[in-house]
Amino acid sequence: MSYPDARYFGEHGEHSGTFTMAGRTPDLSIGEGGTQVHYLATGGSTNGAFGLYRWEMGPRPSGPGPHFHRTMTESFYVLSGTIRLFNGAKWADGKPGDFLYLPEGGVHAFRNESGEPATMLILFTPGAPREAYFEELAEIANTGRQLSPEEWSDVYLRHDQYMV
């Protein structure tokens, strides 16, 4: 393992960091009383390096079924509450400080079934445009629109989501 190729070639560095302050309004709400999503760093803001999202789940059961991605890794870090995490072989109750990493092709899922709010960080590498997927899911949930199996297949295919 070695360092990747250089991406910055300046001599003195830059003042180019960005702050995302706590307490701001979520960037996205999925379902009434459901998940609040904060875009901490998107693929667009990190030059494709990664995407990092704060995922605040409400007390109602929610989360995707088992799936995998072909183009990116995904990691979960539980901040608060209890989130059921699936590593492709078994489910475990993730508590604050628990971490799950999935390489490309790694089957995974997550659910909040605790009846209490729960929060985690979700990290994608490289920084794929997951915001479009999250926003499409929010539109579907928030409008109550019902998709056919073919329409769901199209949504998933466009967003590197392969349901198992």
Ranges of each domain in the chain = 28-163
Amino acid letter, residue 20: T
Which pLDDT value is given to residue 78?
98
Q: Which CATH superfamily is domain 28-163 in?
A: Jelly Rolls (2.60.120.10)
How many other CB atoms are found less than 10 A from the CB of residue 124? 22
Percent of the chain with pLDDT over 90: 93
Q: What's the pLDDT score for residue 110?
A: 98
Per residue in 4-62, pLDDT (tens digit) is 999 999 999 999 998 989 999 999 999 877 899 999 999 999 999 999 999 999 999 99
Is pLDDT above 80 for 148?
Answer: yes
- Distance from C-alpha of 111 to C-alpha of 86, rounded to nearest angstrom: 9
